[in-house]
Amino acid sequence: MKISFIGAGSVVFTRNLLRDLSIFSEFNDIEIALMDIDKERLEVALKIAEEIKEKRKRSWNIKGYMSLKEAISKSDYVINTVQIGGKEATYIDFDIPEKYGLKQTIGDTHGIGGIMRFLRTAPFLKELVLTIEEYAPSALLLNFTNPMSMNQWYINEISSIKNIGLCHSIPYTIEQLADYVGVPVNEISYKVAGINHMAWVLIFERKGENLYPLLFKAMDNEEIWKKDPVRFEILRRFHYFVTESSEHNAEYFPYFLRDEELIKKLNIPIREYIRRVEENEKVFNVFKDYYLKGKKEGFDIIREYYAEEEYDTSKEYAVQIIHGIETNNPKLVYGIVRNKSVIENYPKDSMVEVPCYVDKNGISPLNVGIIPEHLASLNILHINVQRLAVKGAVERDKDYIHYAVLLDPVVSSTLPLDKIPMMVEELIEAHKIYLKDLFKK
């Protein structure tokens, strides 16, 4: 079995997934291909892989590549964690909208930041799926690259390769909720569905007892409320808890970022992702100094990544999926897939995040049924934007990108109509190095 990691220089992510692989004895003798276009990052990833191999006494055949074709060739599984544009492009995504008066917190999923990140990623995704089609046509693509919904939608529009989008926001959300209501997470039963980073906790129970009343009560505790103020405000108004963090959801709903009083009251961290990018760069530099230069100065920054229980898997679903397929040991995971009426009141062509059953037959999304209409309406606002953005990329027509941004709930509630096209054009021009020939004109 061969597993290729594309974007292996995302070393924390790569390390988590390699640790997960190392826990299962069935994966003792496999080929691991690590690929990145950054030679230094690739070298660090290779050192980490060899360290895990030695510690776990695995017989892995580990190889590093800077060629996409060579890494993917004859792979059974392709794991994608590539981020196109890196820090420089992220600054552009925040700075230009801010100049026009549009604030963002994360900017990687919905809204103007999510759309621009998708457009930067689309040319690479096309190259990726074409390479898989030619050199590993039976492989399963496990995609971790955001913006998940638009990326997955684009992949499924241009290719028929097997694929699934993966995110850890649902298990982390359930873990947080367990803490808020004071119930051990392993005693909780739950059902979640919606769109990525904006899915709804539809069932939240312990032994048949509805735990939502406890959550409403917990929300009145000021110390708990401060941990998740935006999501608690959404719970207060819409009566269901939403996945992902408060800082993410602040820019998905049209109520928060245009209101300075709410920004202060809810402690919404403007430009939060910029802080994270800079922190991630510091973390990588410590990894680099440690693995390539033998320096331990600053190791306390990454010590938390080495504090896991010896045989605990991460909250990422990729290795669980691979294990379920390869061993026919059934798993229940959450994934981003084409809807096809899994959620009955969502568009069939949309990408939804739903429970999926995994075994030797592959990945089977489970029927969710009808989601409460007010929650569906909030999701469909973003689904409509996603469809237009993807259509713009598939048809190489920039007009659809303008339509998408004009319809975005946060952009349209914040900026004057005449400023929106100007902002879009300035962003497209600033990102032209990544967009290549994405548009006809």
Query: Using 50, 70 and 90 to split pLDDT, how confident is the model at 298?
Result: confident
More confident position, 441 or 263: 263
pLDDT tops 80 at residue 306: no
Mean pLDDT of 406-416: 97
Please identify which of the residues 110, 168, 239, 382 carries the catalytic annotation. Answer: 168
Beta strands of 185-330 (E only): which ranges?
A: 189-195, 198-206, 209-210
For residue 416, is the peptide bond before it cis, meaning its omega torsion is within 30 degrees of 0? no
Residue 92 three-state SS: helix
pLDDT tops 80 at residue 307: no
Mean pLDDT of 311-317: 84
CATH assignment of 2-166, among 3.90.1200.10, 1.10.540.10, 3.40.50.720, 1.20.1050.10:
3.40.50.720
Global confidence as pTM: 0.97
Angle between helices 169-181 and 212-219 (to 10 degrees): 70
DSSP for 329-379 reads --EEEEEEEE-TTSBTTS-TTSEEEEEEEEETTEEEEPP-B---HHHHHHH
pLDDT tens-digit profile of 319-336?
999 999 999 999 999 999
| Backbone angles phi and psi of 355, in degrees to 5 | -65, 140
Query: Using 50, 70 and 90 to split pLDDT, how confident is the model at 106?
Result: very high
Domain locations along the chain: 2-166
Q: Give the C-alpha separation, 54 to 57, whole Å.
A: 5
Give the pLDDT of residue 299: 72
- The answer to whether 197 is a known catalytic residue is no
pLDDT tops 80 at residue 302: no
Give the pLDDT of residue 270: 98
Query: Using 50, 70 and 90 to split pLDDT, how confident is the model at 308?
Result: low
Query: Which of 68, 73, 79 is CA-nearest to residue 164?
Result: 79
